[in-house]
C-alpha cells in the first residue's frame, strides 16, 4: 500500500509489537480529532504528521510498558480516547525535538470493573465509551448519566482529562463532580487517589488531574459516582418572544434552587435549525427528572417562573392539553414536540456538520461561560465580532445563533454556532479569522475560552490570557515532577518553558 504520508520513524521493541499498529487506517485515523479544521484536512487527505505508531494496550501493564518505552526514548505520547476533541487535543503534530510520536488508544480498556451499589459508585476503565458504560451499569439499574454531545464515541478518560460537561443543566453537570477517585499513569509513576465522598485534606489531587488533558499522565480508571436510573420525568418547551426575555427567565430558574435537569434556552435561529421553533421565538427546553419522587410540583413552580417572564407553552403541548403555562400534565413523562425535536437535533448535529463540510460550508461551534452581569455585553460583542469576520473573511452575512447549554446561579454557559460559505482551498484561513474574532471577543468580555471543549492546541493562546501566569509555572513544575522528559501530549495546554531542562525534580 502506498503511503500518502510519511512512513513511520519508529521501530518498537519486539515485546511491544503485538499491541502496536502502523497501518494507514490506524495512523490516518489517529491524526486528528473532530474539529472543523480536522474534518477539512482529513477530507483533503492532508496527513503530514500522523502518529508513527498507534498502541492499543488491553491491560494497564501493557500501557505502562509502551509509556515507559516512549518516555525513555524521547518519543511523544498522545493519549487517545474517542478522538472527539474539537480543539486539537489529540492531534499528532508534536513539533521538533522528538524521535517520533505514539498515539495510545485506550479503546480496549473499556470495562466497568466493579460496581458498589451501596455507595452508588463504579470503577470504570478510561477507554469505555458512553454507551459501553451505560450498558454495563444498566444491569444494576444504574447510570453515569453523563451525556455530552459526543456520548456515542467519547470515553470516560477523555471526559475527565478535558473536564467535559454532560447535557444536564444544573447541579452535577461537569464530570469533575462525579469523580470519586482516579488513577493516572505518568512517566514518573502511578498516582492513585483515595475513594472518598468528600475531603478537606489539602488541595484536591483529583481536581489537579481533571482537566490536565493528557499532559501529566494517562488516566486509566476512575471510581465514578453513578445514579439510579430516573423513573419520573417531565419536560416542557416554552416560547419567549425574544431571547432576552428567555435569558431573564433562565437566570431566575438558575437562582431558584429548583435544579432542573434540563434548562436549554435556544435563540430563535437555533430553535429553527433544530426544528423546535419557527425562527421567530426563543425556545426554552425545561426538564426535571428523579429516581425517587414525582417532579410535577417543581415543574409547576418552574412554569410559574416562565409565565412571570412572558413564556408560553409551545404549541404542540398547548394544543394537545389546552392548558395554560402554569398548569402541567399529570403524566410523568411527557415530551412536547419541541423537546423531542431538540433531542433529535442534539444527537444529529455532529453528523450534519460533517455533511456541511463536504459541501464546502464553514461550520463551527464555540462556547463559553460568563457571569450574568457580563452576559449581555459579551453576547453583543461576540456577535458583532463574528459578523465582522464573516464579512471580512467570506464576504457573506453568515449565520450565528446561540443557546444556553448549562446554567449556574452566577451565570450561563453559552454555545454559539456559526455557519458561512467557504471558498475552496481557503476554508481553513477563513475559519481561523472567524475563530480568532470570536475568541478575542470572549476573552475581552470576561468569558472563559472554554466551558467544556477544553484547551487543546487550538485554544492555548487565549487560555494563556485567561489563567494566571504563575499557575502556568505551577503546571510546568508539576510536569517536571511527573513527566520530566515533556513527552506527554506536547503542545497541549501549556508551552514548554525555555529553561525547562535546567529544572531539577524534587527528591526526598
Q: Which of 145, 353, 452, 457 binds a second copy (CB under 8 A)?
A: 452
Regarding 505 and contact with a second copy (CB under 8 A), the answer is yes
Applying the rule CB under 8 A, the residues between 402 and 431 that interact with a second copy are 406, 408-413
Q: Which residue has the cell 461551534?
A: 365
Applying the rule CB under 8 A, the residues between 244 and 283 that interact with a second copy are 251, 255-259
Which range in 14-22, 221-229, 277-285, 317-325 contacts a second copy by CB under 8 A?
Answer: 221-229
Strand 142-143 with 100-105, pairing? unpaired
Nearer to a second copy (CB atom), residue 192 or residue 429: 192
Q: Which of 10, 24, 28, 120 binds a second copy (CB under 8 A)?
A: 120
Q: Which residue has the cell 499532559?
A: 215
Supply the angle between the helices 243-255 and 296-308 in degrees, to the nearest 10: 140
Applying the rule CB under 8 A, the residues between 23 and 82 that interact with a second copy are none
Q: Which of 209, 239, 240, 346 binds a second copy (CB under 8 A)?
A: 209
Nearer to a second copy (CB atom), residue 275 or residue 484: 484
Regarding 160 and contact with a second copy (CB under 8 A), the answer is no
Nearer to a second copy (CB atom), residue 228 or residue 432: 228
Q: Which of 194, 320, 384, 397 binds a second copy (CB under 8 A)?
A: 194
Which range in 70-78, 197-205, 307-315, 379-387 contacts a second copy by CB under 8 A?
Answer: 197-205
Query: Least CB distance from residue 280 to a second copy, whole Å?
Result: 28
Which range in 20-28, 65-73, 158-166, 389-397 contacts a second copy by CB under 8 A?
Answer: 158-166
Please state, as a whole number, how many other Cβ atoms lie within 10 Å of the Cβ of residue 275: 15
Distance between CA atoms of residues 24 and 27, nearest Å: 5
Q: Strand 361-369's sheet: what is its strand order?
A: 312-313, 232-240, 282-290, 262-266, 399-408, 411-421, 361-369
Which range in 22-30, 61-69, 266-274, 499-507 contacts a second copy by CB under 8 A?
Answer: 499-507
**Cβ–Cβ < 8 Å for 144, 226:** yes
**Cβ–Cβ < 8 Å for 499, 480:** no
Q: Which of 84, 150, 186, 262 binds a second copy (CB under 8 A)?
A: 186
Regarding 126 and contact with a second copy (CB under 8 A), the answer is no
Regarding 497 and contact with a second copy (CB under 8 A), the answer is yes
Regarding 235 and contact with a second copy (CB under 8 A), the answer is no
Please state, as a whole number, how many other Cβ atoms lie within 10 Å of the Cβ of residue 149: 20
Which among 235, 257, 237, 233 has a CA at the least distance from the CA of 246? Answer: 237
Residue 362's beta-bridge partner residues? Answer: 420
User: CA separation (Å) from 189 to 217, 263, 392?
Assistant: 9, 42, 50
Nearer to a second copy (CB atom), residue 322 or residue 468: 468
Q: Which of 119, 138, 242, 330 binds a second copy (CB under 8 A)?
A: 119
How far does CA 384 lie from the centroid of its chain? 26
**Cβ–Cβ < 8 Å for 249, 240:** yes
Regarding 199 and contact with a second copy (CB under 8 A), the answer is yes
Find the length of the chain. 508
Nearer to a second copy (CB atom), residue 23 or residue 114: 114
Which range in 43-51, 92-100, 171-179, 274-282 contacts a second copy by CB under 8 A?
Answer: 171-179
**What secondary structure letter does DSSP report for 176?**
G
Instruction: Please give the full DSSP string across 11-38, using - where no structure is assigned.
Output: ---GGGGGGEE-SHHHHHHTS--SSHHH
Q: Which residue has the cell 471577543?
A: 441
Which range in 8-16, 73-81, 344-352, 467-475 contacts a second copy by CB under 8 A?
Answer: 467-475
Site string for a second copy, 363-402 (x = CB under 8 A): ------xxxxx-----------------------------
Three-state DSSP state, 412: strand
**Site size with a second copy, rule: CB under 8 A:** 107
**What secondary structure letter does DSSP report for 309?**
T
Query: Least CB distance from residue 434 to a second copy, whole Å?
Result: 20
Applying the rule CB under 8 A, the residues between 286 and 345 that interact with a second copy are 290-293, 297-298, 301
Q: Which of 334, 455, 487, 488 binds a second copy (CB under 8 A)?
A: 455
User: CA separation (Å) from 220 to 104, 110, 121?
Assistant: 11, 10, 17
Instruction: Please give the full DSSP string across 216-229, using - where no structure is assigned.
Output: S-EEEEEEEE-EEP
**What secondary structure letter does DSSP report for 163?**
T
Regarding 463 and contact with a second copy (CB under 8 A), the answer is yes
Amino acid at each position: 500500500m502506498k503511503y500518502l504520508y510519511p512512513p513511520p520513524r519508529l521501530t518498537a521493541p519486539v515485546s511491544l509489537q503485538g499491541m502496536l499498529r502502523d497501518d494507514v487506517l490506524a495512523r490516518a485515523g489517529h491524526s486528528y480529532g473532530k474539529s472543523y479544521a480536522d474534518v477539512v484536512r482529513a477530507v483533503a487527505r492532508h496527513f503530514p504528521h500522523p502518529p508513527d505508531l498507534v498502541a492499543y494496550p488491553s491491560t494497564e501493564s501493557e500501557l505502562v510498558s509502551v509509556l515507559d518505552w516512549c518516555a525513555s526514548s524521547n518519543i511523544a505520547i498522545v493519549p487517545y480516547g474517542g478522538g472527539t476533541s474539537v480543539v486539537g487535543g489529540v492531534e499528532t503534530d508534536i513539533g521538533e525535538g522528538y524521535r517520533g510520536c505514539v498515539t495510545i488508544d485506550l479503546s480496549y480498556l473499556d470495562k466497568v470493573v466493579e460496581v458498589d451499589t451501596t455507595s452508588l459508585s463504579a470503577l470504570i476503565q478510561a477507554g469505555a465509551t458512553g454507551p459501553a458504560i451505560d450498558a454495563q451499569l444498566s444491569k444494576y439499574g444504574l447510570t453515569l448519566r453523563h451525556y455530552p454531545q459526543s456520548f456515542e464515541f467519547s470515553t470516560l478518560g477523555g471526559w475527565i482529562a478535558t473536564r467535559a460537561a454532560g447535557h444536564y443543566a444544573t447541579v452535577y453537570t461537569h464530570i469533575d463532580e462525579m469523580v470519586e477517585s482516579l488513577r493516572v499513569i505518568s512517566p514518573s509513576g502511578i498516582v492513585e487517589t483515595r475513594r472518598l465522598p468528600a475531603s478537606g485534606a489539602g488541595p484536591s489531587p483529583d481536581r489537579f488531574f481533571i482537566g490536565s488533558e493528557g499532559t501529566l499522565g494517562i488516566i486509566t480508571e476512575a471510581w465514578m459516582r453513578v445514579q439510579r436510573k430516573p423513573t419520573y420525568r417531565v419536560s416542557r418547551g416554552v416560547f419567549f418572544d425574544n431571547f432576552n426575555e428567555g435569558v431573564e427567565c433562565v437566570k431566575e430558574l438558575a437562582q431558584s434552587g429548583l435544579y432542573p435537569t434540563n434548562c436549554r434556552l435556544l435563540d430563535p435561529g437555533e430553535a429553527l435549525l433544530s426544528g423546535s421553533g419557527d425562527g421567530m421565538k426563543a425556545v426554552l427546553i425545561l426538564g426535571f427528572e428523579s429516581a425517587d419522587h414525582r417532579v410535577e410540583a417543581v415543574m409547576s413552580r418552574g412554569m410559574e417562573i416562565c409565565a412571570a417572564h412572558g413564556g408560553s407553552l409551545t404549541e404542540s403541548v398547548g394544543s394537545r392539553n389546552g392548558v395554560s403555562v402554569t398548569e402541567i400534565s399529570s403524566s410523568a413523562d411527557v415530551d412536547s414536540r419541541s423537546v423531542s425535536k431538540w433531542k433529535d437535533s442534539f444527537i444529529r448535529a455532529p453528523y450534519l456538520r460533517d455533511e456541511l463540510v463536504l459541501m464546502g460550508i464553514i461550520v463551527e461551534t464555540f462556547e463559553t461561560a460568563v457571569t450574568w452581569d457580563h452576559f449581555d455585553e459579551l453576547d453583543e460583542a461576540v456577535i458583532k465580532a463574528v459578523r465582522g469576520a464573516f464579512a471580512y473573511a467570506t464576504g457573506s452575512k453568515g449565520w450565528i445563533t446561540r443557546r444556553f447549554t448549562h446554567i449556574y446561579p452566577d451565570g450561563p454557559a453559552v454555545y454559539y454556532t456559526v455557519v458561512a460559505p467557504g471558498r475552496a482551498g481557503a476554508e481553513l484561513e477563513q475559519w481561523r479569522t472567524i475563530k480568532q474574532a470570536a475568541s478575542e471577543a470572549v476573552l475581552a468580555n470576561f468569558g472563559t475560552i472554554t466551558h467544556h471543549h477544553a484547551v487543546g492546541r487550538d485554544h492555548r493562546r487565549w487560555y494563556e490570557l485567561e489563567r494566571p501566569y504563575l499557575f502556568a509555572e505551577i503546571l510546568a513544575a508539576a510536569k517536571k515532577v511527573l513527566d520530566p522528559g515533556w513527552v506527554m501530549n506536547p503542545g497541549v495546554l501549556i508551552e514548554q518553558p525555555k529553561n525547562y531542562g535546567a529544572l531539577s525534580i524534587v527528591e526526598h
